Amino acid sequence: NEGNEYFREKDYRKAVVSYTEGLKKKCEDPELGAMLHTNRAAAQAHLGNYRSALNDAIQARKLKPTHLKAIIRGALCHLELKNFSEAIAWCEEGLQIDSKEKKLMEVIAKADKYIVERAEFFLEIHTDFSTHQQIRAMMRVDLLCERNIKVVLEPSNEEEEMSDGLAEMSLDGFHSDSAMGAKVHLDADGNLNWPVLFLYPEHEQTDFIAAFNENTRFIDHLMVMFAELPPWDLERKYLPDNLELYFEDEERAEMYEVNPEHTLLQVLQHQRYFVKAGTPTVLAFVKRSPFSKKYFSSKKVHRL
């Protein structure tokens, strides 16, 4: 009730706190639990936290699979996250419960519109593409859109960006190969595997991982990469626990620290991460080293 009151007052942050406190009581009534998760999802959505809201909608459905409000909320979240196929799937399940639910029909219409617009866009700019090539390119963009991954293509002019850049996307990955010739590709489990470049500015060295699974943590790769100290690390400082990872927002000249416990996908989904030339890049520094302090002195740094 307290959460509902805050919600009516549009104090969504306090509403989230109240619903969370209610959930902590672990009531054995699944309907009440589903309601609390759905209400918290609504409050989170108003705050723009669509992934958290979606997680709540999923939990609500686990408690009560036919909870229509949870289905509506989940479908809306998928739409906001550009997961158009999932949004439609949730709507179709909801319409089996209530075939006249207007919100679900509206979500389907919007999702269909986005999909059709994308299809028309490809058909318009790729008149020299075969139908098979067009479909494969659209599949690649869908995979990135559904993951909320932002890709920057760097052609010489705008026209080339609209045609050649998108045309280079294939089922096997971005035709714009990385410097090492690797491409992002989809594995048998439906996961994207990216070529990832690690930069060590202090020593002007690099490491290249040809197939970094999007669901693998950075710390897992660091443990393998630095199981033995590299020959250029004469001071023996490059140990997994002694490193900090960052990515750079070149447009703003800002650095963002990366949590080594995070997966590649979590980093790529950051609102300021833009994949360039089909190859995600991270920079590694020794913690609190004189070099890193000097390197960061001219940049704004967002730390964990």
Question: Which H or E element spans position 150?
Answer: strand 150-152
Task: Judge whether 126 lies within some domain.
Answer: no
Token pair 């989170």 is found at 44
Angle at which helices 84-97 and 68-80 cross, to 10°: 160
Task: Judge whether 138 lies within some domain.
Answer: no
The answer for residues whose C-beta is within 8 angstroms of residue 83's C-beta and 6 or more apart is 146
Question: Which H or E element spans position 265?
Answer: helix 264-268
What's the CATH number where 33 sits? 1.25.40.10
Shared domain check, 294 and 195 = yes
Answer with the residue of higher pLDDT: 156 or 285: 285
Q: Say what the pLDDT of residue 286 is.
A: 97
Name the residue type at position 80. E
Shared domain check, 195 and 97 = no
Partners of 164 in the beta sheet? none
For residue 149, what pLDDT band results from cuts at 50, 70 and 90? confident
Task: Judge whether 148 lies within some domain.
Answer: no
Token pair 């970094």 is found at 212
Name the residue type at position 250. E
Q: Say what the pLDDT of residue 118 is.
A: 58
Task: Judge whether 135 lies within some domain.
Answer: no
Q: Say what the pLDDT of residue 142 is.
A: 63
What's the CATH number where 299 sits? 3.10.20.90
Shared domain check, 108 and 3 = yes
Tell me which of 80, 115, 150 is where a domain ends: 115
Tell me which of 59, 87, 115 is where a domain ends: 115
| Beta-strand relationship, 169-170 and 150-152 | unpaired
Q: What is the pTM of this model?
A: 0.52
Region of poorest pLDDT, from 30-39, 184-193, 239-248, 286-295: 184-193
Q: Say what the pLDDT of residue 262 is.
A: 97
Q: Say what the pLDDT of residue 36 is.
A: 96
| DSSP of 197-208 | EEEETTTTEEEE
Q: Which two tokens stand for residue 183?
A: 């491409």
Task: Judge whether 249 lies within some domain.
Answer: yes
Residue 212 has pLDDT above 90, yes or no: yes
Range of the structural domain that residue 261 is part of: 185-303
For residue 164, what pLDDT band results from cuts at 50, 70 and 90? very low
For residue 54, what pLDDT band results from cuts at 50, 70 and 90? very high
Task: Tell me the per-residue pLDDT of 173-206, one tens digit each, with 9 for 90 and over.
Answer: 333 344 455 778 877 777 889 999 999 999 999 9
Answer with the residue of higher pLDDT: 139 or 290: 290
Residue 157 has pLDDT above 80, yes or no: no
Shared domain check, 103 and 204 = no
Q: Say what the pLDDT of residue 161 is.
A: 38
Q: Say what the pLDDT of residue 185 is.
A: 81
Q: Which two tokens stand for residue 159?
A: 């026209």
Task: Tell me the per-residue pLDDT of 104-148, one tens digit each, with 9 for 90 and over.
Answer: 999 988 887 776 665 554 444 444 445 444 444 555 566 777 788
| DSSP of 128-147 | TS-HHHHHHHHHHHHHHHHT
Q: Say what the pLDDT of residue 300 is.
A: 93
Question: Which H or E element spans position 32?
Answer: helix 30-46
> How many folded domains does the chain comprise?
2
Q: Which two tokens stand for residue 281?
A: 């890049």
Q: Which two tokens stand for residue 182?
A: 């690797």
Shared domain check, 109 and 16 = yes
For residue 163, what pLDDT band results from cuts at 50, 70 and 90? very low
Q: Say what the pLDDT of residue 171 is.
A: 29
Task: Judge whether 121 lies within some domain.
Answer: no
Task: Judge whether 120 lies within some domain.
Answer: no
Tell me which of 60, 82, 115 is where a domain ends: 115
